[in-house]
Every structure is written in C-alpha cells, then in structure tokens.
Amino acid sequence: MRRTFVVLVVALFGLVFASLVIAHNERQSLRPLAESYVELVPEELGAPNVITGILLTYRAFDTLGEVAVLFMVAAGVGLVLGASDQQSRRSPRKVSGSSSRPSSEIVQSGAQILVPLISIFAAYIIMNGHRSAGGGFQGGAVIASGVLLLVLASTRYRVNLEFLSITESAAGVLFVLTGIAGLIFAGGFLDNRMLPLGQFGAFFSAGAIPILSVLLGVKVGCELSVIIDRFRA
Amino acid sequence: MLELIGSILVLLGAIFHFSAGLGMLRMPDAYTRMQAGTKASTLGNTLILAGLGFYHPEWSLKLLIIICFVLMTNPVSSHALARAAHIIQIPMTRKTTVDALRDSQQRHRGGK
C-alpha cells in the first residue's frame, strides 16, 4: 500500500517535471525589457557589467532594502543567540572552555596563509564589480568566509563586535549619503552619474558604482561576520 | 596541437574525478572515503585547470592561482574533517590496523 503510494507520487512528480521540460523552448532573442537594459547600462552608466549597473543604479533602492533585511537578520540572530551567550558568560567559563578544543597546527597554519589571500580576493571581487562578475554582496560574503576561517582555526580569536558595528553603521550612512549626493548632483537618489563616467571598462569608471560597491561590500562583510560570531558555541 | 594536449589533460582529470566518485561509493568507512575523494579530486582539478590553460593561454595566470588555492585548501579541509571524525570516534573499518593519531595521543598522555 505504502509502496504503491510512493510510486504514484514519484510518477506524478515525473509527469510535472517532464511537462516542464517538454514545454520549455529557449528564447532566441532578449525580451524588450532586458534588451533596453543591455543597451542602456553601458551607454548611460558606463558599466560593462549590466547586472551591477542595474543593482547599484536603477534598482539601488532595492539593494538598500536588501542590506536592511540582512541587518534585520543579524539583529534577529543576535537577539535569539545573544541571550544564551550571556547566560554562558554568567556560568563558570571552564565549562565552555573544555568543550572547545584547539584546532590542529595544520589548520592554524593554513588559516594564516589563506586569510590574507581570501582578503585580497574579496577586495578584487568588490573593486571589479562594475567591470566583471562580482560586486559588493559577493565580496562581502567572501570577507565573512575569511572571518569564519579565523574563528574555526583559533578558539582564542574574538571578533571585535564593537568595531564591526561601528564600521557597518558608517558604511550604511555613507551609502545613503552617496545616494543623497546623487539626488543633488545628478538625476535622482543613488544616481551614479554624479562622478565622471570615465573611460568605458577602465578601473576608475562608471561614476559612483565602485564607491557604492565598496560601501556595500564593507557593510555586508561586517553583517555576515557578526552573524558568524553569534553562532560560535 | 595545444588543443590536443589540453583535451588529453582534461580527460585525465575527468578520469581522476571518476575514480574519486567511485572511491566514495566503494570505500568501506569515512576515513578511506575521505582520502579517496580528496586526493583524486585534487589531482583531477589540477589536471582539468591545466588543460584549460592549454586551451586559453591568456587565462593561465588566473588558472595557476586557482590551482594553488585548491592545492592549499583541499588537504587542509579534509584533514580538519578527518580529525573531527576521529575526535567524535567514528569507527574505522576492521581492515585498518594503524591509528597513528590515537597512538600519539596515548604516548602524549603517558609522557605526562
């Protein structure tokens, strides 16, 4: 009885997916909206990477909202996990000290070599967001992965939460201020054309997009690092 | 000619990846599976990236960096995983008779 039921469910799923696969025919041309974006971004914003152009200019307000959501997540995780952290701090420290044993020498040396490399890679991703694949969100996640490696490698390593929260707030304020500067000097909130567009594809180009990218990367990196630190046992 | 060398290297890498997958299926316990997966996939990755370097010589510097990164991270991560598995005492297969980590820990305790 149970087996026939399972077979029936699997067959139904197969039917659904098969119909999806059969009905799919690939579009040969772009939709009108995508086409206008592909033409407009390099022309108006001077950014070879269309996606970063859309994310940090046309839909920059949306990006600001996403960062705010991430901030809410960090605050929520702090609210849920921070309380238990305080309780363990009140109880004698030895209990938590004995449960976490130091990681091996190989992991520690590996972290020492890899964390600088990861930081450089994160900076590369953030700074090249307007030219190739990458941008603030991705680079921030890479920064946080470096912090995670440090936390894993050394039990004594403590994330400086105060520094992180100050840096994160400063980056957020600067992001909004850049947006307001766009309102004053260019066409609207978070318009990147307040700075000269520069040569197409150059490192310093695409107006304010690299600056916004850096601020976004710092903010996301700090937020994710705080979340990682909250999950420490 | 370059494309032929690149194709052969990519094919060799794919064979090593296949052996890694086979090892994951066939090996008897967590540790042997881990070593099959790590060693074969490290070599397979290196070979495939080197083959890509023959196809696109202009990518070779970036590919070299990726190879170095894989060579550094893959052994360290599998070492950490294997050590964690040893600490929570995941059993070994009966055919394994040598446990150097346990022996050294016992010697360490005896020395104290």
pLDDT tens-digit readout, B90-110: 887 777 777 777 787 788 777
Q: Do B73 and A117 touch (CB under 8 A)?
A: no
Return the structure tokens found at A181. 């500067």
Residue A103: its chain B contacts at CB < 8 A?
Answer: 80
Integer angstrom CA distances of residue B53 from A48, B14, B16? 25, 15, 18
* Rounded-to-integer distance, Cα A163 and Cα A172, Å: 14
Q: What mean pLDDT, rounded, does chain A reach?
A: 79
Q: Do B72 and A110 touch (CB under 8 A)?
A: yes
* Rounded-to-integer distance, Cα A213 and Cα B100, Å: 49
- Which SS3 state, helix, strand or coil, does residue B76 take? helix
Q: Which of residues 72-111 of A touch B (CB under 8 A)?
A: 101, 103-104, 106-107, 110
A159-207 pLDDT, tens digit each: 777 888 888 888 888 888 887 887 777 777 777 777 767 666 666 777 7
Considering chain B, what percentage of its residues have pLDDT values greater than 90? 22
H-state helical runs in chain B:
2-26, 30-55, 60-87, 100-111
* Rounded-to-integer distance, Cα A220 and Cα A68, Å: 10
Chain B residue with the nearest C-alpha to that of A104: B80
| A contact test, residue of B38, B61, B76, B86 with most A CBs within 10 A | B76
Q: Residue A95's pLDDT is what?
A: 42
Q: Which pLDDT band, with edges at 50, 70 and 90, does A96 fall under?
A: very low
ipTM of the complex: 0.71
Those residues whose C-beta lies under 8 Å from the C-beta of residue A231, and which sit 6 or more positions away, are A77, A81
Q: Where are the domains of chain B?
A: 2-111
